């Protein structure tokens, strides 16, 4: 009959709906959440698997290519170095503690006032410039910016931390030097307080100020801080602890320490320090140098003791930095729907959905009329 809806049995209606749903899911709503195109199924099967990603070796860390990056990563460290230098300058400007020096104590402070065998300006050359020349020579041969940068940075930290500790202790202790008598009384005429017996100095104020800075020895601590760091550095580069028994390597490592020890001996010979001052300064400088070296470099006896920590982290493991970014990208891609390459199937899939919904409505209307 025209104008009337064709009545379907409930079983036929369910069968039609199930078939249309399967057809729709095949093109639009698969369980994996992807659209499938019959036009691309054959091409996808014939398409070969992508080739494995070719991983190239890391470029050598030249100063021109990696220098700015490394310096930028350690910008805070360089700022801290400037602060340490400013603190050390301030400690040299303030007046040290003037320990009580009586008439009976002058017997051990009567040594002559001599010139320095190792001048003050020579200490930075031995402790800083000489190691930097060796660092640069190794860089010219190996071309490792990380090694050059961290060696210089660690050296500066070693000598500046040692300098701050040394000058702070000097100002706080105020021990008189062995030649304090001639600093206090340059004309040889002593003058003491009639009640306390304390010395009343009439020499040059700057010379007297320097006379209260005996403990610990600054020459010795600085020498061991710089040359001790150099010994650690050479031990790692020549692999002195490779368990092969080459004593010649050990002699090379000892040479900077011997030079630092000779600087300390000269301080006693010149009567500028007591032996306790030199001993304490040497221990202080060597301990700080050890901590600073191990902060930037592995132990020379280790398997990777040749290059600094940063080299192994940034160069030998180049994928470590981008691992987090790759993980984040893969996680976001997992939650995004994958669109078909052939977008022409979308209108067809949409029409199938409308057709399915229309048939469902017709079935519901036919059921209501049958009642």
Is residue 170 within 8 A of residue 218, CB to CB? The reply is yes
Is residue 170 within 8 A of residue 210, CB to CB? The reply is no
Q: Which residues contact 338 (CB under 8 A, 6 or more apart)?
A: 33, 34, 35
Tell me the two tokens of residue 72. Answer: 């930028």
Residue listed under structure tokens 């409930």? 10
Residue listed under structure tokens 């017709």? 362
For residue 199, the cross-strand partners are 192
Distances in whole angstroms, Cα of residue 44 to Cα of each of 38, 98, 342: 10, 89, 12
Is residue 23 within 8 A of residue 348, CB to CB? The reply is no
Tell me the two tokens of residue 203. Answer: 């020499």
Q: Which residues contact 155 (CB under 8 A, 6 or more apart)?
A: 128, 131, 132, 135, 226, 229, 230, 292
Residue 94 region, left (φ>0) first, then alpha (ψ -120 to 50), else beta? beta
For residue 192, the cross-strand partners are 199
Catalytic sites, residue numbers: 219, 273
């Amino acid at each position: 009959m025209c104008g009337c809806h064709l009545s379907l049995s409930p079983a036929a209606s369910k069968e039609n709906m199930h078939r249309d749903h399967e057809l729709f899911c095949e093109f639009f709503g698969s369980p994996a959440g992807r659209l499938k195109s019959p036009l691309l199924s054959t091409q996808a099967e014939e398409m070969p698997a992508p080739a494995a990603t070719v991983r190239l070796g890391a470029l050598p860390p030249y100063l021109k290519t990696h220098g700015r990056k490394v310096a930028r990563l350690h910008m805070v460290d360089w700022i801290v170095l400037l602060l340490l230098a400013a603190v050390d300058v301030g400690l040299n400007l303030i007046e040290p503690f003037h320990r009580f020096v009586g008439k009976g104590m002058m017997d051990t402070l009567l040594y002559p006032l001599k010139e320095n065998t190792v001048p003050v300006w020579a200490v930075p050359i031995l402790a800083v410039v000489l190691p930097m020349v060796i660092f640069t020579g190794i860089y010219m041969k190996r071309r490792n910016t990380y090694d050059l940068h961290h060696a210089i940075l660690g050296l500066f930290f070693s000598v500046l931390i040692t300098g701050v500790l040394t000058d702070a202790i000097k100002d706080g202790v105020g021990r008189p030097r062995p030649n304090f008598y001639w600093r206090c009384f340059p004309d040889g005429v002593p003058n003491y307080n009639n009640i306390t017996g304390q010395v009343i100095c009439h020499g040059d104020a700057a010379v007297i100020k320097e006379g209260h800075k005996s403990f610990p020895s600054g020459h010795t601590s600085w020498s061991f801080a710089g040359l001790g760091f150099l010994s650690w550095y050479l031990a790692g580069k020549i692999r002195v602890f490779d368990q092969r028994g080459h004593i010649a390597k050990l002699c090379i490592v000892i040479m900077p320490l011997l030079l630092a020890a000779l600087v300390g001996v000269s301080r006693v010979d010149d009567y500028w320090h007591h032996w306790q001052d030199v001993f304490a300064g040497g221990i202080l400088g060597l301990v700080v140098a050890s901590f600073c070296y191990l902060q930037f470099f592995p132990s020379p006896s280790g398997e990777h003791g040749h290059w600094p920590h940063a080299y192994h982290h940034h160069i030998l493991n180049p994928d470590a930095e981008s691992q987090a970014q790759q993980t984040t990208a893969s996680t976001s891609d997992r939650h995004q729907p994958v669109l078909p390459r052939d977008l022409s199937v979308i209108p067809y899939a949409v029409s199938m959905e409308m057709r399915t919904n229309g048939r469902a409505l017709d079935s519901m209307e036919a059921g209501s009329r049958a009642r």
